[in-house]
Structure 1
Amino acid sequence: MHRPQLAVHPLMDISVVIPAHNEEKALPYTLQALTTQSSLPTEIIVVANACADRTAEIAERHGALTVVTERRGVANARNLGAKRAKGDVLLFLDADAIPAPDFIEALRRATEGRERFIASAPSRADHWRFLWTAALINLVMRVCRLSNSGVIACPASLFREIGGFPSVEMAEDYAFMRRAQLAGAKYLLLRSHFLWNTRRMRRFGAVRTLAKWLEVWLIPSRRALRYPPVR
């Protein structure tokens, strides 16, 4: 396994952890965006979980530290990646979430000097049909102080303190964020964005997908539901 030789910021080391299940099509764009940031992360870790495609090969080709596991699940993949990370800050990024060129720089600016925080970022849809959907989600995030499931950042020490992501099939990000806030973490919304892959919306429809999200956010007993697969 090869660790990427990326620039290290003198004030804060950031480890990017990417859970990836059969993401050979989307992953190259995300890795390219990370390796061309205005302020580079310390390392990029891709956790290829239960993949039947070339996800791991692509990750290694782009210089990412690649972890392979046969166990499927976003929570498990994120936790495995976090165990391998050496950064002071962990940025959990979905394999199809493409960060803006100033994303890492914005994360460093927002969190410099903070010891306890949970950070996320607004999204921009990759298709004009869902611009309104992204705007609605961003509004809900701001008002309700929620994280975007595709982008979550926190100190590595806080991650260890609250025990990582819970092993549930859906909404593990919501549970993680709430644990962090109960532990005293300040909610931060970055002044940058990422490009949101709307493939789930295109396949299942905006109304159905939004209804599922609202169900998860508003009804605690429904937070272990799972989405049907999109790959």
Structure 2
Amino acid sequence: MRISVVIPARNEETFILGCLEAVIRQTLPPDEIIVVDNGSTDRTAELAQGMGVKLVNCPTPGVAVARQAGLEAATGDWVVTTDADSRPVVGWLEALRPHMAHSVALYGPLRMFGLPAWQEELTELGYGVFLKMMMLLGKPNLAAANMAFHRQTALELGGYPMVEAREDVILGWKLKAKGPVRYVREALVLTSARRVRGGWLRFLWQQARNLGGNSSGYFAADEGKES
């Protein structure tokens, strides 16, 4: 079973190398790594090319458009996604792989980095609580920073909806209607703390809105935007 890792990026020269290094050093190496350059004006594309990954040019702005371009360019049986400012742990793909034969989509935990240690642990704990609440509501929250799905099934569904900041979650709901969607606790991804740069109160308010289905995932703020 071939695995494609897709990473959209727009002006991510600060983070892209750390992300790619984390994906390249996986204990289960992916069959291909795709960076979708979403109209960057910095060195994002140059740095990605220097790492030897497949670069897809997507000048039309928007993270949903970029994710769709990556999905269409992928050749793997499964597409696994993360964000340019994220760093999957070394056993990420190895943890996801055993569940692929019996699922149409998978997702896992997130933890912010770049904060005091106790706050980093709290973000993972809080995200876990959020995911359980969304599961109880019958709407699993598949955030693109840590998401995997069967490529052909996603293509048959039309891929990502062109809705900014909710495209990943909506695709997850569509996939759930086609087969099992599983949470893989061991498949941890670290993601940058820039999502709380507007303050914790603003961040927590955004997550409260998520419970009503009005927005995207717990760590959705600033996805696909310039860093």
TM score, norm. by length of structure 1: 0.85
* Equivalent in the alignment of 1:175: 170
SS of equivalent to 2:18: helix
Give 1:59 shift.
0.8
* Equivalent in the alignment of 1:119: 106
* Equivalent in the alignment of 1:185: 180
Assess, with a 3 A threshold, how the Cα gap between structure 1 residues 20 and 160 changes in structure 2: closer, same or farther: same
Question: Residue 134 of structure 2 contacts residue 211 of structure 2 at CA under 8 Å; is this kept in 1?
Answer: no
Gaps of 5+ in 1: 1-11
* Equivalent in the alignment of 2:189: 194
Assess, with a 3 A threshold, how the Cα gap between structure 1 residues 140 and 215 changes in structure 2: closer, same or farther: same
Give 1:187 shift.
2.7
The answer to whether structure 1 residue 48 and structure 2 residue 25 are counterparts is no
Distance in 2 between residues matched to 1:193 and 1:206, nearest whole Å: 22
* Equivalent in the alignment of 1:166: 161
Question: Residue 16 of structure 1 contacts residue 41 of structure 1 at CA under 8 Å; is this kept in 2?
Answer: yes
1:192-231 → structure 2 map (5 Å cutoff) = 192-201=187-196, 203-220=197-214, 231=227
Distance in 1 between residues matched to 2:35 and 2:15, nearest whole Å: 13
The answer to whether structure 1 residue 85 and structure 2 residue 80 are counterparts is no
Distance in 1 between residues matched to 2:211 and 2:47, nearest whole Å: 34
Amino acid of the structure 2 residue aligned with 1:210: L
Gaps of 5+ in 2: 136-140
Structure 1 runs, 4 residues or longer, greater than 4 Å off: 226-230
How far does the alpha carbon of each residue in 1:39-65 deviate from its partner, in whole angstroms, 9 at most, with x for none?
A: 100000000102110111111110110
Question: Residue 12 of structure 2 contacts residue 226 of structure 2 at CA under 8 Å; is this kept in 1?
Answer: no
SS of equivalent to 1:208: helix
Question: Residue 20 of structure 1 contacts residue 55 of structure 1 at CA under 8 Å; is this kept in 2?
Answer: yes
Distance in 1 between residues matched to 2:211 and 2:53, nearest whole Å: 33
TM score, norm. by length of structure 2: 0.87
How many residue pairs end up in the alignment?
Answer: 214
Give 1:148 shift.
2.9
Percent of counterpart pairs with the same letter? 31
Give 1:214 shift.
2.5
Question: Residue 7 of structure 2 contacts residue 82 of structure 2 at CA under 8 Å; is this kept in 1?
Answer: yes
Give 1:219 shift.
4.0
Question: Residue 110 of structure 1 contacts residue 188 of structure 1 at CA under 8 Å; is this kept in 2?
Answer: no
Give the alignment partner of residue 152 of structure 1, picking from 147, 154, 171.
Answer: 147
Structure with the larger RCO, 1 or 2 (CA within 8 Å, 6+ apart): 2
Distance in 2 between residues matched to 1:56 and 1:141, nearest whole Å: 33
How far does the alpha carbon of each residue in 1:122-179 deviate from its partner, in whole angstroms, 9 at most, with x for none?
A: 1222122343233111221134232234111001111112111110122111111111
Of residues 147-156 and 128-137 in structure 1, the stretch that sits farther from structure 2 once superposed is 128-137
Give 1:186 shift.
2.4
Question: Residue 10 of structure 2 contacts residue 226 of structure 2 at CA under 8 Å; is this kept in 1?
Answer: no
Q: CA RMSD in A?
A: 1.9
Give 1:230 shift.
5.8
Amino acid of the structure 2 residue aligned with 1:53: D
Assess, with a 3 A threshold, how the Cα gap between structure 1 residues 130 and 100 changes in structure 2: closer, same or farther: closer
How far does the alpha carbon of each residue in 1:51-93 deviate from its partner, in whole angstroms, 9 at most, with x for none?
A: 1101111111101100112111111111111111110000011
